[in-house]
Amino acid sequence: MSKVSDRIDLKEIERRAYLSYHEDGLIDILIGLGLLAAGLYFYAGMFWLVGSMIAIYVPIYMSIKKRITFPRIGQVEFSKSRTGRAKNTYYFLVAINVVGVVVGFVFWNAFSSEIRPEWMYVMIDNYAIVLGIVGAFIFAVVAWITDLTRFHWYAALTLVSLGSANFIASPFIGHVVALGFIITVAGYLQLQKFKGKYPIVQEN
């Protein structure tokens, strides 16, 4: 019986260490900045560059992590199941990018043809709601995979922020930028809280 409880305790300890590892808010800041960049890309007509952001942001994220997080809580080596979750998150985001490119190609091909399917007009008329649902779904899945509960709030915020563009007479890009700004600020506040909770101890 004690062995079972020990196993449960070890899993809980690892879970808390994992949450502390992501308590720095850096992933939030990068997501927020990514949304801000996506808004600028769409505004400049360079929307095809959005898919490349994951490849660019991952090494940047790890570099900042080594400078801010590791000196405060150390470099943690998690179990295979926990690291597997992190890999699943990465693969999921890559898959979303691939699907996005494919869907974009399908839309472009359908829009270029003389006969356009009815579903395409429905999607175009309600694109803000569709993108809000997709964005909320991505945040919800990442929250489920990583156990980062604050991402559930981001999912709800994304649904409301992007979906509301369908009913408010304001540019959709403005909603994307506003969402990115809110998440960036939330990440920054999380980072400051993390620094206060885990200060760097100077050795004499």
Is 129 exposed, middle or buried, given 0-12, 13-18 or 19+ CB atoms closer than 10 A?
middle
Residue 164 has a pLDDT of 92
pTM of the model: 0.76
Radius of gyration of the chain (CA): 20
Is 55 exposed, middle or buried, given 0-12, 13-18 or 19+ CB atoms closer than 10 A?
exposed
Residue 198 has a pLDDT of 81
H-helix segments, 75-126: 80-112, 118-125
Which residue has better confidence, 51 or 162?
A: 162
Q: What is the pLDDT of residues 166-190, one digit of tens each?
A: 888 788 889 999 999 999 999 999 9
Residue 14 has a pLDDT of 63
- Residue 152 CA to chain centroid, in angstroms? 11
Q: How many percent of the chain have pLDDT more than 90? A: 18
Residue 157 has pLDDT above 90, yes or no: yes
Q: What is the pLDDT of residues 104-135, one digit of tens each?
A: 666 666 666 666 677 777 877 888 888 899 88
Average pLDDT of the residues in 92-99? 68
